Every structure is written in C-alpha cells, then in structure tokens.
C-alpha cells in the first residue's frame, strides 16, 4: 500500500477520521473558550472560573479510564473487538448533546454539571480511539491510518478556536459556538456505529491483483 490516502476509499476510515475530528473540535473549543464562556456569559470571577473549569477535565480523566475498561469487558465476553470499541465510541460521542441545554440554562452550577457530563462522556471515546485504529487498519498499515486520522483530527485544533471566536463576535453569544460541536459529535456517533465495519480493512495491492 503506497499511500495512506488509499484509506479514503473505505467507509470505516471515514468513520474514524470524522470521529477524531469531532472529538478534537469539542476538546480544543473547551480548552480555549470555556474560561471565557464562564467569565463573560456566566459572570464568574477568575478564581471561581478556574475551579469550575477544572471539573469537566476531571470527568474526562475518569471517562478515559472507564471507556477502556468497558470496551475490554465486552471483548472478554467474546464480542468482536471492533464492535466492542465502536459501541463505546458511539455511546460516548452522544454525551456532548448535554451541551445544548447549557445554552438556555441560566444557573451556572447546572451548566457546569452538564458540561462535565458532556466532556466526561466524550472521554469514554478518547480512551479507545487509537486502539480502534489498530483493529481496523490492515496488518502492517496501522501507522498510516493512525497518521491520517491524527492529521484530520488536528485540523480541528485550529478550526474550532477560530470559528468559535468568529461566531461569538458575530452573534454576541455562544449559542452557535456550542451547538456546532454537539451536532458534529452526534454525527460522529453515527459514523462509529454505521460506517465503521466489524472487520479489518482489506486492501489489495497491485501484486495481489496480478496474482488473482
């Protein structure tokens, strides 16, 4: 297999690529804009903001460990390893929908609880993203698919902060800035569930085709 871009012919690869993009979009948005959201929208002091900003990432830490534990538990019950992991991935990527109510809730504590649920649930997926790549990629080509996934995922690292800043400036609120990551994470959940197949990608090389 000459190029990692050959993976773009396969639905499983698209599910993985978009999944990491959605995960990173929400992660980078929260890393860069959550403190501003709490200070500007929720009128918190910087000291209080620093404390509350920490809580979603504690939940993410727990989610990372729990996601790995749950997927391994399913595998021990004789589940196909890809099916086990994509099940946890698809469930985890639905949790960011909890962000949407925060747009309309005035109570800052309840908003933080919902954001913590969203980030903690996403953490379920974060813990097994790369293990899933190893399961899905052809033997010996895991690094190529992982590199492609990482490249696509890191696009979110500059898109999310920049687009969020534009949307907040344009609308003078965080409504669309928070709605977008919730929606794309929901789409990522669909991608994991229905695009990622329960078997390794099998790519025939030119040599293989000549033999056949």
Residue whose structure tokens are 């929208």: 41
Which pLDDT score is estimated for 148?
Answer: 95
* Contact call for residues 92 and 122 (beta carbons, < 8 A): yes
In the DSSP assignment, the letter for residue 139 is T
Q: Where are the domains of the chain?
A: 8-195
Contact 28, 160 (CB under 8 A): yes
- Closest listed residue to residue 19, CA positions, set 71, 85, 113: 85
Q: Please tell me the predicted confidence (pLDDT) of residue 135.
A: 94
Q: What pLDDT, on a 0 to 100 scale, did the predictor assign at position 5?
A: 87
Q: What share of the chain is helix, strand, coil (3-state, %, to 5)?
A: 80, 0, 20
The 10 Å Cβ neighbour count of residue 148 is: 22
Assigned superfamily of 8-195: MFS general substrate transporter like domains (1.20.1250.20)
CB 181 within 8 A of CB 26: yes
If we measure between CA atoms, which residue out of 182, 74, 72 comes closest to residue 122? 182
pLDDT < 50 positions in the chain = 206-212
Q: At how many degrees (to 10) do helices 108-126 and 11-36 cross?
A: 150
**What does each C-alpha distance from 9 to 5, 36, 104, 122, 196 come to in angstroms?**
8, 41, 41, 27, 13
pLDDT (tens digit per residue) in 96-148: 999 999 999 888 888 889 999 999 999 999 889 999 999 999 988 999 999 99
The pLDDT value given to residue 37: 72
Q: For the whole model, what pTM was predicted?
A: 0.90
b/e burial code for range 69-93 (CB count within 10 A of at least 16 → b): ebbbebbeeeeebbbbbbbbbbbbb
């Amino acid at each position: 297999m000459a190029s990692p871009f050959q993976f773009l012919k396969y639905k499983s690869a698209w599910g993985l690529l978009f999944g990491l993009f959605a995960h990173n979009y929400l992660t980078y948005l929260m890393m860069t804009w959550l403190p501003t959201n709490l200070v500007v929208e929720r009128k918190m002091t910087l000291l209080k903001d620093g404390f509350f900003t920490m809580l979603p990432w504690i939940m993410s830490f727990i989610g990372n460990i729990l996601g790995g534990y749950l997927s391994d538990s399913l595998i021990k019950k004789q589940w196909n390893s890809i099916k086990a992991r994509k099940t946890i991935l698809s469930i985890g990527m639905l949790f960011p929908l909890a962000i949407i109510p925060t747009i309309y809730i005035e109570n800052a504590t309840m908003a933080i609880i919902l954001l913590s649920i969203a980030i903690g649930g996403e953490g379920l997926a974060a813990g097994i993203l790369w293990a899933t790549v190893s399961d899905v990629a052809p033997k010996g080509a895991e690094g190529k698919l992982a590199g492609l996934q990482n490249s696509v995922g890191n696009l979110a690292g500059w898109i999310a902060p920049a687009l969020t800043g534009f949307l907040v400036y344009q609308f003078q609120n965080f409504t669309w800035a928070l709605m977008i990551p919730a929606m794309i994470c929901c789409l990522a959940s669909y991608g994991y569930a229905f695009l990622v197949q329960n078997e390794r990608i099998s790519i025939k090389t030119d040599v293989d085709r000549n033999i056949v």
